[in-house]
C-alpha cells in the first residue's frame, strides 16, 4: 500500500463517496415513491368506499321500490279479481232472487267466499308472510278454487292440464295463479265470453305455461297501460319468462304466461 500513488487513494475515496451519495439518493427516492403510492392508494380507497356507500344506498332504494311494486301487484291482483267475482255473483243473485231463490242464494254464497278469500290474500300480501295464493294447496287446487268461485249462469269455466304435475318455485306458482286471475277477470269484463278455459301445460321439462282462453271477442278494448297486464309483464320479466295478452288469430281472448321452470 505504501507504494501506491496518493491519487489512487483520492480516487477510491471519491468513488466511495459517490456510491454512498447515490445509495442515499436512491433510498430517498424510493421512500418518496412509497409515500406517493401510499397516498394514492389511500385516495383510491376513500373513493371506492364512497362509491360502495352510494351503491349500497341505491340498492336499498331499489329494494324498497321493488317491494313496493310487488305489494302493489299483489293488492291489485287480489282486489281486482275478488271485486269482479263479487260484483258478478251479486248481479246473478239479484236477477234470480224472485224466480230461482236457491240459485240466487248460491251466487250470494260464492260472492261471500270470494270476498273472504280476497281479504285474506290482501292481508297476506301486506304482511309479506307468504308467496303462494292458497295455503297448503297445489297450484291445480288453487286454480280449481279460483274457477269454482268465478262460475255463474251463462259462463262456463274449465281447467285443463297437459303433462304430469311437478313441484314449482313459489314465485312461479304465484305468477301463474295471478295470470289465471287476470285472464278470467279480463274475459269477464271485456271479452263477452260464455266459455273460459284455463290450461296448465307441464309437457316441457324446461318451462311451464299457463293460458286463459275464451270464446268471446278478445281483449281489444283493454288499455295497454292496464295495471293488471303491466303487473303480469313485470312478473314474467323478473322470472325470465314471457307474457302475452290479446286476441288470438282464431278469435277469442287469451292471456298466456311462459316461465322457465
Q: Is the pLDDT of residue 129 over 50?
A: no
pLDDT tens, position by position, 56-110: 666 655 655 665 666 666 666 666 667 777 777 778 777 877 788 888 888 887 8
Is position 13 within any domain?
no
Residue 155 belongs to domain spanning = 52-260
Helical H segments across 97-226, by residue range: 101-127, 139-150, 170-186
Residue 248 lies in a domain: yes
The model's pTM = 0.54
Determine the pLDDT at residue 60. Answer: 55
Q: What would the pLDDT profile of 185-231 be if each residue is shown by its tens digit?
A: 888 877 778 899 999 999 999 999 999 998 887 765 555 556 778 88
DSSP β-bridge partners for residue 122: none
- CATH assignment at residue 152: 3.30.565.10
**Domain membership flag for residue 39:** no
**Euclidean distance between CA atoms 169 and 241, whole angstroms:** 14
Is residue 234 included in any domain, yes or no?
Answer: yes
CA-to-CA distance for 235 and 230, rounded, in angstroms? 9
Q: How far is CA 261 from CA 165, 239, 241, in A?
A: 12, 9, 9
The answer to whether residue 124 sits within a structural domain is: yes
Q: What angle do CA 226, 232, 234 make, to 5 degrees?
A: 100
Residue with cell 278455459: 197
pLDDT digit string, tens, across residues 12-28? 777 777 767 777 777 77
Q: Does 53 or 183 have the greater pLDDT score?
A: 183
Average pLDDT over residues 253-257: 90
**Residue 88 included in any domain:** yes
Domain count, the chain: 1
The pLDDT value recorded for residue 199 is 95
* Residue 147 covered by a domain: yes
Question: What is the distance between the alpha carbons of residues 238 and 217, in angstroms, rounded to a whole number?
Answer: 30
Average pLDDT, the chain: 77
Contact between 130 and 177 under an 8 Å Cβ cutoff? The reply is: no
Residue 170 lies in a domain: yes
| Residue 131: predicted pLDDT | 44
Angle, CA 244 vertex, CA 111 and CA 114 arms, to 5°: 10
Helices and strands of the chain, counted as H and E runs? 5, 5
Rounded to an integer, what is the distance from CA 222 to the centroid of its chain?
A: 22
Distance CA 255, CA 183 (A): 5
Amino acid at each position: 500500500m505504501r507504494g501506491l500513488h496518493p491519487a489512487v487513494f483520492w480516487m477510491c475515496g471519491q468513488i466511495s463517496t459517490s456510491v454512498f451519495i447515490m445509495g442515499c439518493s436512491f433510498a430517498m427516492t424510493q421512500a418518496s415513491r412509497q409515500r406517493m403510492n401510499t397516498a394514492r392508494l389511500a385516495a383510491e380507497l376513500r373513493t371506492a368506499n364512497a362509491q360502495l356507500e352510494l351503491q349500497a344506498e341505491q340498492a336499498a332504494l331499489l329494494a324498497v321500490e321493488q317491494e313496493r311494486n310487488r305489494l302493489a301487484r299483489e293488492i291489485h291482483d287480489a282486489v281486482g279479481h275478488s271485486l269482479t267475482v263479487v260484483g258478478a255473483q251479486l248481479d246473478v243473485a239479484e236477477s234470480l232472487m224472485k224466480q230461482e231463490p236457491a240459485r240466487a242464494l248460491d251466487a250470494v254464497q260464492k260472492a261471500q267466499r270470494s270476498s273472504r278469500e280476497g281479504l285474506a290474500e290482501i292481508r297476506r300480501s301486506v304482511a309479506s308472510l307468504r308467496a303462494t295464493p292458497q295455503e297448503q294447496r297445489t297450484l291445480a287446487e288453487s286454480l280449481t278454487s279460483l274457477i269454482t268461485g268465478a262460475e255463474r249462469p251463462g259462463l262456463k269455466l274449465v281447467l285443463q292440464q297437459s303433462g304430469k304435475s311437478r313441484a314449482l318455485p313459489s314465485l312461479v306458482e304465484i305468477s301463474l295463479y295471478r295470470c289465471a286471475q287476470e285472464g278470467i277477470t279480463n274475459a269477464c269484463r271485456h271479452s263477452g265470453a260464455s266459455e273460459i278455459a284455463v290450461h296448465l301445460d307441464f309437457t316441457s321439462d324446461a318451462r311451464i305455461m299457463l293460458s286463459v282462453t275464451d270464446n268471446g271477442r278478445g281483449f281489444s278494448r283493454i288499455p295497454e297501460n292496464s295495471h293488471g297486464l303491466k303487473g303480469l309483464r313485470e312478473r314474467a320479466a323478473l322470472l325470465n319468462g314471457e307474457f302475452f295478452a290479446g286476441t288470438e288469430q282464431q278469435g277469442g281472448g287469451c292471456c298466456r304466461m311462459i316461465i322457465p321452470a
